[in-house]
Structure 1
Amino acid sequence: MRLQKNRFTIYPKLLLGFLIAILPVYMLGIFLNHQVANSLREQILQSMQSNVKFYLSSLENEISKIDKFKRSLVVDEDLMTLGTIAPALSDNELRESILRLERKLTLLKDSSSYIAEVSFHIPLINKKIKPGTYEDGVPLDSLNQFRTKMQQQLSPLLWWDNKLLLSSYYPESAFSNRVPVFLIEIEIDQNMILKDLRNMVDQGEAIIFFNKDNKYISNNRLGDVSDEIHSLLTQKNSSSNDRAIIENKGKRYLVSLQRSPIYDFTLAIYTPESVIMRDFDKFNILFWVLFVLSILVIVMFSYWIFKTIRNPLRNMLIAFRKVEQGDLSIRISQVSNDEFLDLSDQFNKMVNQLQSLIQEVYEQQIRTQQSELKQLQSQINPHFLYNSFFILHQLIEFEDMDNARKFVGYLGDYFQFITRDAKSELRLSQEVKHSEAYVNIQSMRFGDRIRVNFEPIPEQYGLVHVPRLILQPIIENAFEYGLETKPSEGVLHITNFVRDHLLYIRFEDNGTLLTEEKLEHLSDMFGMNSVGLEITGILNVHRRLQIKFGRSAGLDVYRSDLGGLGVLMKIPLMEEDET
């Protein structure tokens, strides 16, 4: 089959049809994939949030238990004795008190795996007592600095010298500047916290943040994203919990965190999205592979269908061309038993009938079709159609809904009259109604530039049967060749009167383009024999009126009193029409 340039052939139609059918399914699949991915992220974040909340609660309970044990030691008798009246004790009593404190510290240390070290600092005896041992020397400057640091925060937990401490001193008065009687120092085991954090998450990184100094404990397993975590925590510092997705160095991380209001620190877990979504990404890749394969299958399947129908169509096209050239001896033979066999059989029958009726029927049908085509082409002016839709677009653009509705009504009436399959004759009242619709359309187009005075036809004359489209072509001619170029004050008068059993309809405009040469040429055309000429416009109206009513009917042209073209239409009346 010879393909013409810019021709939309069967193959692209088939391909486009299959793609239109399958693309919505894949678009829905893409949308569902996106929704599933979002749901999966949300579930993972909820799971991480649950883990954070659970471990935070466990950590708080453990620290709280240690804190209670510590508080019980603050009022311990031996500790008070050593801190206040130690010089009054004998050496034996002093040694016994120290040994009892060592045993109590041992019990405290063994009570929780989160305790790395525990000690008493007693300035009065200048000793630091640990489980099972003691050391001489208590640095008073460091002790005062430590106390000052504890007074500046609300949380009992304190970062000091890269250690996480749970401490108390006596007396705890913020107004006393004296050296503390004693200081209990419990170091929390950071390694144990990290161990529990590793057990809590499989592939994430857990961090304990302290809001004030931004100190943290971290198992640095996934690389340095601490700046982004710090920023997130700074922004969310006032909230008790949060979950989010952050980006760092081109990678996305799922972050879940929760703040402890008791101990003033925040626990966060963050996990690379690529690790969590690994299996889903594999599925997504398979989905796109399937999509590409489907497109390839559609392309090949469409081409196969195209080839299946191309050869029979080529043969039929060749046969039609031969018939077009006058060869009615052509016949189509089809091997395959399908719809093309029926089509070829019908083609052969058609050629047989054409061959027997070509002189009588076929030629007459061709002439009739050509005549109808010319009539339709003369009825619908593409320029008028474009202008009409442009006006409608402008009305809608400026939200002039009232005029837009009116304009659509006028267009509907106009094209209903133009395109309906009706008789060649109709009542004059119907013709007038159609012409009024056309005038209304043009009036909305030109606005105040052109004023049309359309005098009503008396009711009894509206019953006269006339050929279709005898008024509108004359009005259209006045607009296009007389009034369209006038910038303002355009006038078209349409009046009527009856004289000597004739209905006269007069069309007069004040256009400035009509020259004497054009007027003389138009008058000569009305007097010429139109056989063999292309009859269009007002000449068409003139000839159809004469065919219908005789030589007394038709059109006369003249220069109107307004200065433009004047057209006088004559329609004979029967006696019953005048009564």
Structure 2
Amino acid sequence: MKRLFRKMSLKKRLWVSFVLLTVVCISVTGTYVSVFFSHEMENQATKTSQDTLNKTAQVFDERLRNIVVSVSTFMMGEPFQRTMRDAQANNSKDYYNRLSQLQTPFAQMMLAEQSIDSVLVHTPIGDFYPTESRRSMAVDFEDTSINEMILDTQKRWSTLWVRGHAEELFSRGNPVISLIIKPLFEMQLPGVYVVVNIREDHLQELIQAHLQEGNLGQLVVDRSSQEVFSSVPAMPENMQLNERIGSSDRGHFEYLSESGNSYLVNYAALGMNPDWVLIGYQSKSKLLAPVQHMRWTILTIMGVCVVLALIMSSMLSELLLKPLFKLRNLMFKVEQNHLDVRFESVFEDEISQVGHKFNRMLGQIGELIEEVKASEQEKRKSEIKALQAQIDPHFLYNTLNTIYWKSEMEEHQDVSGMIVSLSLLFRLGLNNGREITTLRQELEHVAQYLSLQAMCYPDLFQYEIVAVDEKLMNIPVLKILLQPLVENSILHGFQELPHQGRIRIEAAAADGFLTLTVTDNGSGMDAARVEKILNGTEAERTSYALSNVRARLSLYYGYKASMKLESEPGVQTSVKLIIPIQEVING
């Protein structure tokens, strides 16, 4: 794909870029809007559902609390208390009298709370209930599921709630929720319970009355995910919520069913019975249906924009690239060595600026050609001067004179060595006409020169070339850099020295630079003054060796190469040549 894009013309690349930019911008915008609105709608629906749920739970709790208060008021009445005293004394002879006395409190309680379907007070001396409610005599209290639940409950309790079931004690048979309360009496009476049956349909109407969302459903479950209302349809997809709800009082989460349907679920525990939880659920797909419609609208807009982009991009690319094509044609002419062409345009845009730069570049090319010619001539002159310095007549005279006298004295081995050193010196200096040599050959060249000078001036100086890392020996360097520096030390540093001189040559590399150092213990110099002279004009230069080396470094390496002078007269003088290694290799 990348290779195909590179082979396209600029016009086609602009055309493709316009289309891609349009598609990407609309896609990103549409995706962001879709995700943003989906997220916002989901958050808003969750918040609204939770608010509705909290309000319903509050009303539901209030109704249950009122029922408990009504039952408590009933139990604190004198008729009920007298009945409890009879149950305590196991006095059953006043059973019908007590049953008659309880009818008025029963009626008052059921009138105050019309959601109460029936009431039964179970005691060892008999059951007490409103006589208007038809008691199912075939069913004994000990045989009911309510009694089984009482017996199965291990923890201590004063009130016990039983989830929805068919009424067993009375013949009405309505689905009810039962509240079992131990009597309020001065002492605990075993086997005495007040059973209040509450109609499910009244409580269900209470829940439905506070629903405002059309796709929001609410129901009451216990913490084991069992429905509290037996007459209400089961939860959708048989949600198993006990693991998600745990022991928390309220919250929300997203539920994914086994069939792949997603639901937003809110829950709030009831204050009167924390084991019962009011659940609110709504289908996420129905909730986000408007977002799906919006996505199709965005796709339609995207398709229209792509078609427009195809048309407009072709026209725009043709218009924008016209000056660039003109500039390209001029470059073709320049390629044919027509350097007199010039770009002209009435516009002042970026392409016109490039065209004006192109015109200026053509003008500078001519100037650079002349500068390159002059620079090459200067390099050749510098090289000739360096070679001339190498074959200085005074050096040749002293060398040949030493060879002659050693020959006369029949020191044939020294004569052979000097001739070989002189031959190698010239061969390495010429370097087959190349300007660049290696560090190995440069060190060998200066070693041959020092060997000859040591024979010409016995006991004048000693020299040392410090061993160099083999990895550095093949680094390319400009030839004849060290010999002028060594010559400068011998001629100017050791001539009037009262003791034997020492010359030390080192080479090291760090941070991409090669450093060549020539150190002697000669008479020294004023380094600051010499630096000032080297920076002056040609007429002011008095140190030919240093100025020659510095000029050649500048010509070949530019500003990245440098020469540093340090001197303490009579102690140590050093000249450091710093050369960029990478620049030389690339060159």
TM-score by length of 1: 0.52
Kept in 2: contact 1:165–1:186 (CA 8 A): yes
CA distance in 2: counterparts of 1:211 and 1:279, whole angstroms:
34
Matched, 1:37 2:45: no
Matched, 1:167 2:180: yes
Aligned to 2:312: 301
Kept in 2: contact 1:242–1:257 (CA 8 A): yes
Deviations 1:174-198 (A, max 9, x none): 976x432xx3211222333333333
Aligned to 1:453: 517
Matched, 1:462 2:534: yes
Q: What letter is aligned with 1:210?
A: D
| Structure-to-structure mapping, 1:32-431, within 5 angstroms | 33-79=34-80, 84=86, 87-89=92-94, 94=96, 98=99, 101-102=102-103, 104-125=105-126, 131-136=132-137, 138-140=140-142, 145-148=148-151, 152=155, 154=157, 156-159=159-162, 162=165, 164-170=177-183, 178-180=190-192, 183-201=193-211, 202-211=214-223, 216-217=228-229, 219-220=232-233, 223-227=236-240, 229-234=241-246, 237=247, 239-249=248-258, 250-264=260-274, 265-308=276-319
State the Cα distance separating 1:147 from its structure 2 match: 4.2
SS at structure 1 position matched to 2:113: coil
Kept in 2: contact 1:206–1:268 (CA 8 A): yes
Kept in 2: contact 1:144–1:179 (CA 8 A): no
State the Cα distance separating 1:270 from its structure 2 match: 1.7
SS at structure 2 position matched to 1:224: helix
CA 1:471–1:287 in 2, change beyond 3 Å: closer, same or farther?
same
Kept in 2: contact 1:252–1:273 (CA 8 A): yes
Moved more, 20-29 or 30-39: 20-29
CA 1:48–1:363 in 2, change beyond 3 Å: closer, same or farther?
closer
CA 1:289–1:208 in 2, change beyond 3 Å: closer, same or farther?
same
Deviations 1:235-292 (A, max 9, x none): xx1x432123333343332222222343212212121222222223322442344344
Aligned to 1:500: none
SS at structure 2 position matched to 1:471: helix
CA distance in 2: counterparts of 1:213 and 1:471, whole angstroms:
90
State the Cα distance separating 1:7 from its structure 2 match: 5.0
Q: What letter is aligned with 1:208?
A: V
CA distance in 1: counterparts of 2:20 and 2:51, whole angstroms:
45
State the Cα distance separating 1:97 from its structure 2 match: 5.0
Kept in 1: contact 2:46–2:266 (CA 8 A): yes
SS at structure 2 position matched to 1:166: strand
Aligned to 2:498: none
SS at structure 2 position matched to 1:57: helix
CA 1:58–1:126 in 2, change beyond 3 Å: closer, same or farther?
closer
SS at structure 1 position matched to 2:552: coil
State the Cα distance separating 1:62 from its structure 2 match: 0.8
CA 1:22–1:160 in 2, change beyond 3 Å: closer, same or farther?
closer
CA distance in 1: counterparts of 2:6 and 2:68, whole angstroms:
89
CA distance in 2: counterparts of 1:460 and 1:317, whole angstroms:
50
State the Cα distance separating 1:61 from its structure 2 match: 1.1
Deviations 1:42-67 (A, max 9, x none): 22222112111111111111111111
SS at structure 2 position matched to 1:133: coil
Percent identity between the aligned chains? 12
Kept in 1: contact 2:57–2:270 (CA 8 A): yes
Q: What letter is aligned with 2:533?
A: Y
List runs of 5+ in structure 1 lacking aligned partners.
331-337, 348-353, 355-361, 377-439, 480-491, 498-504, 512-535, 541-579
SS at structure 2 position matched to 1:263: coil
- Greater relative contact order structure (CA < 8 Å, 6+ sep): 2
Kept in 2: contact 1:105–1:130 (CA 8 A): no
Task: Kindly name which structure, 1 or 2, has the bigger radius of gyration based on alpha carbons.
Answer: 2
Aligned residues: 397
Q: What letter is aligned with 1:133?
A: R
Kept in 2: contact 1:140–1:179 (CA 8 A): no
CA distance in 2: counterparts of 1:60 and 1:261, whole angstroms:
6
List runs of 5+ in structure 2 lacking aligned partners.
166-175, 376-506, 520-526, 539-547, 568-574
Q: What letter is aligned with 2:261?
A: K
SS at structure 1 position matched to 2:510: helix
Q: What letter is aligned with 2:178?
A: L
RMSD: 5.6
SS at structure 1 position matched to 2:65: helix
Q: What letter is aligned with 1:209?
A: V
Kept in 1: contact 2:81–2:185 (CA 8 A): no
Kept in 2: contact 1:156–1:263 (CA 8 A): no
